[in-house]
Structure 1
Amino acid sequence: MVKTRIQQVALVLVGLVLAGVMIGLGLWQMQVFQSQGQSGAVARMNEPAVPLTSVATAGQQITDGYGRTVSFSGTYVPQEQLLVPVDGEPGTFRVLTPLRTADGTLVPVVRGVSVGTTPPPAPLGTVEQHGVLLSSDTQPEGPVPAGQIGSVYLPVLVQRWTDPMIAGYVTLPGDLATAQGLSPAVPALPSGRGSVQNFGYALQWWVFAACALGFAIYLAGHIGRASDRRRLADLGLITQDEIGPDPDRMS
């Protein structure tokens, strides 16, 4: 009986160790998958800039533009400027200023980051700009002071700015932000996709882990049941043919 219990515990421990190793390998493959996706997003951002009008126009859904660097020109509209509080950094704001293009379309532009509520003014006149095109931030929570907005949430901007607007916003790169007297704003790049093969490997390792642990538990139970049948046979309650495999031979 004691030997059987030792065998059962040993089998379950081996199953747990194998499952733990396989889960770790699955997590590593998932990390590789996510890292490849992030690298792909950065590589997409660093590709040569394309004209904004080639991927985004007012009133049209953007299908293949988010995460790309786009170029555009126009005039900033400073009277419509808003400050977006940076999470976890009290008194620090992203400076969101709309830029009106030649056809009257507004492009929401995060020019950079400012400490305090009096950022440097936007450039005057027609300017050439470029930056990474991003989709709407998540809906903000709670009220904010006048002249601020909780996040770059496009449905709210559409209500505040009456001119036609693209379905996204642009974050300027570090050099342009610095040239305007601001600190660079870190763009929230859209999640890229890693190798499907690595994702498949992660799932495969997790399936193996479940199988290893499940088989160890099944085998431990089988040994216990065989031991019980052997004791019943020794007591004459069942025949020798009903004993089944000898648990001592399974060690």
Structure 2
Amino acid sequence: MYRFLLTPRWLGILALTLVAAAVMVLLGNWQLDRYEQRTAVNERIDAGSRGTPAPLRDALPAPTGGAGSVGPAPAEQVEWSRVTATGRYDAANVVLIRGRTVDSKVGFEVLAPLVLTDGTAVLVDRGWVPPAPGGAMAMPQVPALPTGEVTVVGRVHPTETGGAGVDRRDGRLETRRVTVDKIARELPYPVHGAYLLLDEQTPANDPAFRAVPIGHANNWQNFGYVIQWWLFAAMSLFGYGWVARREARRAAGLDAPKRPVDRAAEPATPA
């Protein structure tokens, strides 16, 4: 019944089905890898909220180049961990990150370089402020930086990617993304390869700032794609088997349509 499967036509259909199923399985495996990566990020975020702050030097390598250079990126296991650092804010190089949303409102995140005793600096995200009246891009009122020595506790945030360059407006640097290497080119000292989301500060941070929330990665979306692609692979193989069985039954006459009975041709039943 199934010798037709060895014909060139059916062998070609089988090859296409196997290739399609293999591609779907690989796509599912790729989404599984993305799920595992995002799950690991979420676990680091949760662990960071509970961890004891470590000294900045223990978590983030110091830059070794000259002014405008950037230090190494943090190790993956260090991202989102809490660290502490002490230095003095550089009020001449405050950085505004425009177009940032907190609680469904568009405003600015405010970064300030914290210059350490060794002459290097780490960018500290002090928080979010709303724009001035006149639109989402209107220059905000930024609370003054504390003077003197400051101790901060914050989360290690990896540098963002993309975005345009850094402009200077009304005496402040302004950009769209926290791209550490681009910001560092505008600063007169070497900068660490990640920035800090401020949790605590001594003296206390100005209450006008809103804390920037740390969003968890949507890992369950990737897990849904895993199931989807693997189901598609199974359905393609099932579909091939179903079509092949139907063809075999048709060739054997098992699925031939029944001829209708002509009632008029039947002999009359005697009374």
TM bucket normalised to smaller:
0.5 to 0.7
Whole-Å Cα distance in 2 between the matches of residues 128 and 180 of structure 1?
14
Alignment CA distance shift 1:94-1:123 (3 Å)? same
Whole-Å Cα distance in 1 between the matches of residues 197 and 124 of structure 2?
6
Match of 2:234 among 212, 216, 223: 212
Match of 1:230 among 239, 252, 258: 252
Match for residue 242 of structure 1? none
Alignment CA distance shift 1:178-1:137 (3 Å)? farther
Cα-to-partner distance string for 1:164-193 (whole Å, 9 max, x where unaligned): 11111111027779732311122467x699
Whole-Å Cα distance in 2 between the matches of residues 133 and 216 of structure 1?
49
Whole-Å Cα distance in 2 between the matches of residues 82 and 161 of structure 1?
10
Stretches of structure 2 that go unaligned for 5 or more consecutive residues are: 1-27, 65-70, 132-139, 257-271
Deviation at 1:131, TM superposition (A): 0.2
User: How many percent of aligned residue pairs carry the same amino acid?
Assistant: 18
1:158 is the counterpart of 2:173: no
The answer to whether the Cα contact below 8 Å between 2:106 and 2:130 also exists between their aligned partners in 1 is yes
Alignment CA distance shift 1:144-1:164 (3 Å)? closer
> SS of the residue aligned with 1:86?
strand
Matches within 5 A, 1:98-113: 98-113=113-128
Match of 2:149 among 114, 126, 129: 126
Whole-Å Cα distance in 1 between the matches of residues 88 and 145 of structure 2?
9
Whole-Å Cα distance in 1 between the matches of residues 63 and 246 of structure 2?
71
Stretches of structure 1 that go unaligned for 5 or more consecutive residues are: 1-25, 232-245
If the length of structure 1 is used for normalisation, what is the TM-score? 0.66
Whole-Å Cα distance in 1 between the matches of residues 183 and 159 of structure 2?
10
Q: Quick check: which one's strand share is greater?
A: 2
1:58 is the counterpart of 2:63: yes
> SS of the residue aligned with 2:191?
coil
Whole-Å Cα distance in 2 between the matches of residues 176 and 169 of structure 1?
18
Match for residue 3 of structure 2? none
Please tell me the root mean square deviation across aligned C-alpha atoms, in Å: 3.8
Whole-Å Cα distance in 2 between the matches of residues 193 and 71 of structure 1?
30
Deviation at 1:74, TM superposition (A): 0.6
The answer to whether the Cα contact below 8 Å between 2:108 and 2:128 also exists between their aligned partners in 1 is yes
Deviation at 1:97, TM superposition (A): 0.6
Alignment CA distance shift 1:85-1:211 (3 Å)? closer
Whole-Å Cα distance in 1 between the matches of residues 229 and 95 of structure 2?
50
The answer to whether the Cα contact below 8 Å between 1:174 and 1:183 also exists between their aligned partners in 2 is no
Alignment CA distance shift 1:91-1:177 (3 Å)? farther
> SS of the residue aligned with 2:235?
helix
Whole-Å Cα distance in 2 between the matches of residues 188 and 144 of structure 1?
28
The answer to whether the Cα contact below 8 Å between 2:112 and 2:123 also exists between their aligned partners in 1 is yes
The answer to whether the Cα contact below 8 Å between 1:134 and 1:188 also exists between their aligned partners in 2 is no
Alignment CA distance shift 1:177-1:135 (3 Å)? farther
> SS of the residue aligned with 2:127?
strand
Q: Quick check: which one's helix share is greater?
A: 1
The answer to whether the Cα contact below 8 Å between 2:48 and 2:80 also exists between their aligned partners in 1 is yes
If the length of structure 2 is used for normalisation, what is the TM-score? 0.61
